[in-house]
Structure 1
Amino acid sequence: MNSLAQIIITVGGVATACLTVFGIFKSVAGHLSSAKERARLQAERNIAQDKDIERLKEENQLICYGLSAALDGLEQLGANHSVPVAKNKLQKYLNKQAHR
């Protein structure tokens, strides 16, 4: 009877150990899968943000060129108060950005 109890205890211990190892393995696999998914989502967000930034840069470039043309037209019409100052600052800014 004593050896049967010992066998049952041993089998129970082995089964518990196996289930524990399986649980740990499953947990680690789930964590790695989750980390890969988070990395993939972050990469997708980065690509979308890069596209948005590029679109905004193009839009800002067009706005600056339009503003430059408007300031040039105002200067040609004789608006000399702060128009030449603003036009010069804008030209300096655009030149600085072009050489960046």
Structure 2
Amino acid sequence: MTGLTQNIITAGTVAAALITLFGIIKSVIKYICSLNEKSRIQQERNAVQDKDISHLKEENRLICYGLSAALDGLEQLGANHSVPTAKTKLEKYLNEQAHK
């Protein structure tokens, strides 16, 4: 009877070890899949943000050019208080941005 008891205990130990190993492997695979999903979601967010940033840059460029034209028109009409200074600063800013 001791041999049979020992075999049952050994079989139970092996089964418990296999179940534990299976659980560990399953957890690792689930963790890796979770990391991949998070990475995919972050890449999608980055793509959307890049598109939005591009749109905002284009909008900012148009606003700056419009402001430059307005300041130029004011200067031509004789508004000389702070218009020339603002126009110079805007032109400097646009020139710096163009060389970045």
* Same fold flag (TM > 0.5): yes
| Aligned residue in 2 for 1:97 | 97
Quote how far apart the aligned CAs of 1:78 are.
0.8
Quote how far apart the aligned CAs of 1:53 are.
0.6
RMSD between superposed Cα atoms in Å: 0.6
Quote how far apart the aligned CAs of 1:2 are.
1.0
Query: CA–CA distance in 2 between the matches of 1:43 and 1:74?
Result: 46
Quote how far apart the aligned CAs of 1:54 are.
0.4
Give percent identity, aligned residues only: 68
Structure 2 letter corresponding to 1:77: L
After the TM superposition, list the runs of 4 or more consecutive aligned residues in structure 1 that deviate by more than 2 angstroms.
none
| Aligned residue in 2 for 1:80 | 80
Query: Which residues of structure 1 form unaligned runs of 5+?
Result: none
Query: CA–CA distance in 1 between the matches of 2:5 and 2:79?
Result: 104
| Aligned residue in 1 for 2:31 | 31
TM-score (norm 1): 0.98
Query: CA–CA distance in 1 between the matches of 2:15 and 2:93?
Result: 73
TM-score (norm 2): 0.98
